[in-house]
Amino acid sequence: MSSRPDSPVQILAPAKINLNLAVGPRRADGYHRVCSLMEPVSLFDRLVMKRRRAGGLALDGGGVPAAENTVTKAVLALEKLTGFRLDAKIELEKGIPVAAGLGGGSSDAATALKLIESTFGLKVSEAEMAALAFSVGADVPFFLKNGARLAEGAGEDLADVGCLPNHWIVLASPGFELSAERVYQKFDEMGGGDEMEFAGRSRRLHEDIAALGGFESLSRVIRNDLEPAAVSICSGVAELKQRMEEAGCAAVLMSGSGPSVFGLFPDSESARAAARRLRPRVPSVWVVRPLL
């Protein structure tokens, strides 16, 4: 991708879901160890960028002050790494709910990095970009590529898992935010993060991924260690799960630190039927597909 200084370019930033999230002990850097099966899905934010002749970065939109936005943090980190002044205006149009367990802020940061690198013709190695992305946020490296991947470490150690069994997703947001920091803190208070249990769940996830066959095998993989902590903070997560099950969602799970919840379906017809039943009772419902 290339651009004249006066020619705007745009790119979509996808959401993600955690099909499985095993959480272990807190690391010395403050992050928890994780072993998570993640995939990007077809719910998007949109970034529109226009190069400027001077003035550095200007960011509009996003729902939080520009100085606190992950896009700003990512671009400033890229400036520091390359020593190149990145004069650009970025408009961020949000389609992914904020603080919803769907990785919107992380995706925005990674997408901005890719957009800036390509548009300005920067030469940054894959390893340098991954390290820079992780300095912005634990989930940011995941969004540098498409496709389902297994995330370990604090999320920075990523491995491709190939094509998962075909599935459709009904994704629902209850219309309120839930702080990831608060959910992880509650997870610790509830005694989560046992080293032996985490090692066992991580090993089983590796084995389950290796044994994946049809849709039923995928639906048996889903698990989220943070869900009990999120439910204890906010009963609305459990209520949303119940509504989705009543609408016909069989494999239902909270994504990430919540409060968004998803259900898996083997085909579009059953997914769309469940979404129609949900929409009168849930503020935001989408039928999405994995991005390969």
Same domain, yes or no: 122 and 23: yes
Q: Determine contact, residues 109/140, Cβ cutoff 8 Å.
A: yes
Q: What is the pLDDT of residues 235-281, one digit of tens each?
A: 999 999 999 999 998 799 999 999 999 999 999 999 999 999 999 99
4 located within any domain: no
Q: Does the structure show a pLDDT above 90 at 182?
A: yes
Percentage of residues in the chain having pLDDT higher than 70: 98
Q: Which one of the listed residues 114, 139, 186, 225 is annotated catalytic?
A: 139
Q: What is the pLDDT of residues 212-229, one digit of tens each?
A: 999 999 999 999 999 999
Residue with tokens 């009772």: 281
Same domain, yes or no: 31 and 114: yes
Predicted confidence at residue 3, as pLDDT, reads 44
Predicted confidence at residue 65, as pLDDT, reads 85
Say which DSSP state 45 is in: E
Distance of alpha carbon 90 from alpha carbon 161, whole angstroms: 33
Q: Which one of the listed residues 16, 73, 114, 186 is annotated catalytic?
A: 16
Same domain, yes or no: 196 and 131: no
Strands (E), 27-69: 32-51, 57-61
Q: Does the structure show a pLDDT above 70 at 49?
A: yes
Same domain, yes or no: 25 and 156: yes
Active site annotation includes 6: no
> What does pTM read for this prediction?
0.95
Instruction: Look at residue 54 and give its three-state secondary structure.
Output: coil
176 or 6, which is more confident: 176
CA dist 9 to 46, 75, 78, 119, 249, Å?
11, 16, 19, 8, 38
Domain final residue pick, 109, 130, 160: 160
Say which DSSP state 283 is in: S
203 located within any domain: yes
Predicted confidence at residue 291, as pLDDT, reads 96
Cα dihedral 158, 95, 8, 147 in deg (nearest 10): 20
Q: Supply the range of the domain harboring residue 127.
A: 9-160
Distance of alpha carbon 34 from alpha carbon 18, whole angstroms: 11
Q: Does the structure show a pLDDT above 70 at 2?
A: no
Same domain, yes or no: 111 and 19: yes
Q: Determine contact, residues 261/255, Cβ cutoff 8 Å.
A: yes
- For residues 38-42, give the mean pLDDT: 98
1 located within any domain: no
Active site annotation includes 186: no
- Our count of domains for the chain comes to 2
Q: What is the pLDDT of residues 65-95, one digit of tens each?
A: 888 999 999 999 999 999 999 999 999 999 9
Predicted confidence at residue 6, as pLDDT, reads 63
Domain final residue pick, 160, 180, 199: 160
Taking the CB of residue 55, how many other CB atoms lie within 10 A of it? 10
